[in-house]
Amino acid sequence: MSDVHVYYTSDSLFRGPFGIDIKNPEHFSVENSQLSADSSGETGLLTSVTSKEDNVKHQIQLSFVMYGVKMAKDKSRAYLVLTDGEVQSVAIFKPFIRVLRGPLMSEFKVMLSNVEHVVRLQNSPGTDGSSVEIHNIVDIKSQQNKELAMKVDTDVSNQDREFFTDLNGFQVHRHCTLDKLPLQANYYHAYNGIPGR
């Protein structure tokens, strides 16, 4: 049996056979047998992940940022970020949040102005149950000459500044953040499900 919680919305939006709990929490979490993922009730974004095996908790701060694009001969396009200045934080305050907890998976979906943000934990004893999946569906049609990015800050000690990305379940690619490279070379893009660098 699954349960659904909806935050920051009117109960008049929902009718039918499903029991839906409507609250305005300070924080909430989803979990499986291996992990617990905690989030801010105010923004809906991930704040920490705890491994149940060793009870190690990692602090995480997710945010969305927006860049303006350079209006020059070379322009931003798929796989290429050419910014016109400093990053701007995207303000988030009490978005619509749906939390689903069930026997196969648990997830929360956050509806932001330009992003449908989903964090999912598979209820599986295998390796797929030991990771946090994050999916973003981005719509910036209402924006002119803007780039949107998800920023991840953690307390994980990463001396070599390495990160790994999944290539559509086929391969895992290793990337390094390097100060000598321009901004666009340190970004990882996914366009129509096709990852690139």
Asked if residue 192 has pLDDT above 50, the reply is: no
CA distance 149 to 188: 10
DSSP collapsed to 3 states, 110-129: EECCCEEEEEEEECCCCHHH
10 pLDDT band, cuts 50/70/90, is low
CATH topology of domain 3-156: Beta-galactosidase; Chain A, domain 5 (2.70.98)
Tell me the torsion sign for CA atoms 13, 37, 66, 74.
negative
CA distance 61 to 153: 5
What's the pLDDT tens digit per position in 91-110? 898 889 999 999 999 999 99
pLDDT, position 111: 93
Nearest one of 5, 40, 3 to 23, comparing CA atoms: 5
Question: Whole-structure pTM over 0.85, yes or no?
Answer: no
Would you kindly state where each structural domain of the chain is located, as residue ranges?
A: 3-156, 160-197
Residue 193, helix vs strand vs coil: coil
Residue 15, helix vs strand vs coil: coil
